[in-house]
Amino acid sequence: MRSGQTTGARPAQVAVRPDIELSWKRSELSGVDPARCFDAGPLPEVDPDSVLLRAAGPVLDEVGRQLAGTGLCVLLADRDCRVIARVFDTRGVERHLEGLGVVIGSGFGEEHAGTNALGTPLEIRRGVMVHGAEHFLDQFKGLSCYGQPIIHPVTNRVEGILDMTCIAPQANAMFAPFLQRAAADIERRLLEGARASHQRLVDAFQRISPQSNVAVAAIGEDLLLSNRAALELLDVADHVALRAIGSDLRADQSRTARVTLASGAEASVQADRVEGANGGTLFVVRPIPPTPVRRPRSRRPRIDRTRTELQRARDSAAAVVVSGEPGSGRTTAAGDLVAHRSAGRLDATRVPVVGAQEWTAELARTTEGRVDPVVVENIQLLPEAAVALLAGRVCEAGRPQVVLTCGPVDELPGPVAALVARCPERIVLPPLRARRDELPAMAQAMLDGIGPGLSLTATALEALLAQQWPGNLTELRTVLTRTADRATSRRLTVADLPEAYRTSTRVARLAGRERAEREAIVDALRAHAGNKVHAAAALGISRSTLYSRIRALDIRV
């Protein structure tokens, strides 16, 4: 346990409260330097009409009257820990805090500002007092504060944080009950606002005249209404798609789109954003009858296309290459190709274990005098002698069918790429991030195998759709298995997912262009170990633009 005021390092050894000690550890793990000056970076615009500000406005006005003559300051931060409102007693206090970077838009999460009375209550979801010396950054040690999270009564998530600050080494014990009452008043107003926005969405839903062949759904942030036709026509994956259609609409704006539902049916969707419903949108879905010349679409078109390719390759005696990223299902696809046949199997990952000469000799024995197919996996790792041997085998008449698996073709070394070019049949398995339309069906199929009866809620599915899935199907199966192990019911929620996969629904609802932009920024940050200066240079944008897009696209760095 430590405390004190040593500059540039953790405070010296003295007893410290457990909440503060744990916050210091989190700050250290985030790479925060106690001696550096707090830099809020480029400041995003604050929405003056946000739900939190509307609810907090009258409460902050009353707080301002009560603070007169006290020398105190009250801050309001949103759920991203950005300051969105400030109440000062005097201009002198305001200037002092602004000199420390406490301005509208500045972010005080622990990963940026260390232990403080905005970021720390957000982490632990309860009120906490932070006295001067308990701040992690040296520049904040002249302040003492109390922070109280504001919990939305409907969603039960942290909607914001109230903070009371004084320029003193010790905070007054009366800060806590004062802010607790103020936070409770804001929570009450949030509940009233939620009821009002829900009622507007319900009213819009009820104004649609009932028609047996028209599906009507009203979807808000935490409300879903459906008529009987919608219950029969739409499933969870369709709700996610509808949210995406309505995500970019402004109040009272409409949009019509043609979509393919999870069942494979075509439908016309009219989306109308309901004013005053906190983002709630009304959807009218009309099925489009298939034309006689059209073949019915399957539930999983790309999966079926892959199966068709596999069937064609299975019926052929020609050599086949199955390529794709690690985890994309290469081994499974190769197994499908040789199903019900006694196939020889070799894996180039064993070359370092048994030696190149012994492995190549085993390849020669396996492919000599056989009738049944031979599967050779991970050919990108083959020694040159084995590549030359296989190149001869795939071209010789009377040899058994050879099935090869490898990584993306454009990443193969020259001799292996030449081997692949000799194979008449090629099946390319796309990465999971390029198969988002199939992910709901694939996830449910995996869950059926992991635990029959399990299913994902719409918000859990949205969180999974927001992921990049570098490990592809293997990673998805691992995540679903872990989720099933910790679930308390047959319906798997966001809370059941591993923490790293509980991505905000805002990311899940990004349009195609924004999603591509987000992926490019994430890739640049990963390539430069999180260094924003180098990532911005690689992307050809300014650092301020990069900061702005990181916040707008909800990129966690």
Identify the pLDDT of residue 505: 55
Q: How far apart are CA 433 and CA 467, in angstroms?
A: 8
Report, as an integer, the average pLDDT of 44-65.
87
Domain boundary (193, 217, 235) is at 193
CA distance 48 to 536: 29
Q: 309 — phi, psi (to 5°)?
A: -65, -40
Same domain, 516 and 499: no
Q: For the ranges 6-15, 214-223, 476-485, which has the lowest average pLDDT?
A: 6-15
Cα 104 from Cα 94, distance rounded (Å):
12
Is 377 inside any structural domain? yes
Categorize the per-residue pLDDT at 142 as very low, low, confident or very high, splitting at 50, 70 and 90.
very high
Residue 266, pLDDT > 60, answer yes
- pLDDT for 480 equals 94
Which pLDDT value is given to residue 2? Answer: 39
| Per-residue pLDDT, 83 | 93
| Together in a domain, 166 and 126 | yes
More confident residue, 407 or 305: 407
b/e string for 386-409 if b means 16 or more Cβ within 10 A? bbebbbebbeeeebbbbbbbbbeb
Q: Is the pLDDT of residue 298 over 70?
A: no
Q: What is the pLDDT of residues 479-538, one digit of tens each?
A: 999 999 888 888 888 888 887 787 665 565 565 666 778 778 888 888 888 788 788 888
Query: Which residues, listed in sequence order, are joined to residue 74 by a DSSP beta bridge?
Result: 87, 164
* 355 and 249 both lie in a single domain: no
Residues 465, 327: one domain?
no
Q: What is the pLDDT of residue 299?
A: 43
- Quote the pLDDT of residue 425: 86
Lowest mean pLDDT among 103-107, 124-128, 388-392, 395-399: 395-399
- Which pLDDT band holds residue 1 (cuts at 50, 70, 90)? very low
Q: How many domains does one find in the chain? A: 5
- The domain in which residue 485 lies consists of 438-508
**310 and 396, same domain (yes or no):** yes
The least confident of 71-85, 301-315, 328-342, 346-360 is 301-315
Residue of 228, 171, 352, 204 whose CA lies nearest to 278: 204
| Six token digits for residue 152 | 């939305």
Euclidean distance between CA atoms 252 and 332, whole angstroms = 49
Q: In the predicted model, is pLDDT for residue 40 greater than 70?
A: no
Is residue 474 left, alpha or beta, with left meaning phi > 0 and alpha meaning psi from -120 to 50? Answer: alpha
Residue-averaged pLDDT of the chain: 84
Residue 422 shares a structural domain with residue 495: no
In a domain, 5, yes or no: no
The reported pLDDT for the residue numbered 74 is 96
pLDDT at 296 > cutoff 60: no
Q: How far apart are CA 145 and CA 480, in angstroms?
A: 42
384 and 343, same structural domain?
yes
Residue 293 placed within a domain: no
Predicted confidence (pLDDT) at residue 554 exceeds the cutoff of 80: no
Q: What is the arithmetic mean of pLDDT over 196-212?
A: 84
Whether residues 27 and 151 fall in one domain: yes
Residue pLDDT, tens place only, 149-177: 999 887 778 899 999 999 999 999 899 99
Q: Is residue 10 part of a domain?
A: no
Residue ending a domain, choose from 416, 432, 448:
432
Residue 279: give its domain's CATH number. Answer: 3.30.450
Question: What confidence score (pLDDT) does residue 51 get?
Answer: 85
pTM for the complete prediction? Answer: 0.50
CATH no. for residue 385? 3.40.50.300
Residue 247 above 60 pLDDT? yes
Query: What pLDDT score was predicted for residue 144?
Result: 95
Residue 9 covered by a domain? no
Which structure tokens are listed for 421? 């070019």
- Is the predicted pLDDT of residue 297 greater than 80, yes or no? no
Are 186 and 334 part of one and the same domain?
A: no
- Domain edge (last residue) among 193, 220, 252: 193
Helix, strand, coil distribution of the chain in percent, nearest 5: 45, 15, 40
Strands 215-219 and 281-287: antiparallel
Question: Is the domain of 98 the same as that of 157?
Answer: yes
Q: What is the CATH number of the domain that holds 78?
A: 3.30.450.40
Q: Is residue 267 part of a domain?
A: yes
Residue 308 domain flag: yes
Same domain, 532 and 500: no
Contact, 265 vs 229, CB < 8 A?
A: no
pLDDT category, 5, cuts 50, 70, 90?
Answer: very low
User: How far is Cα of residue 379 from the mean position of the Cα atoms in its chain?
Assistant: 33
86 domain-assigned: yes
Which of residues 176 and 301 earns the better pLDDT score? 176
Residue 408 and residue 538 share a domain: no
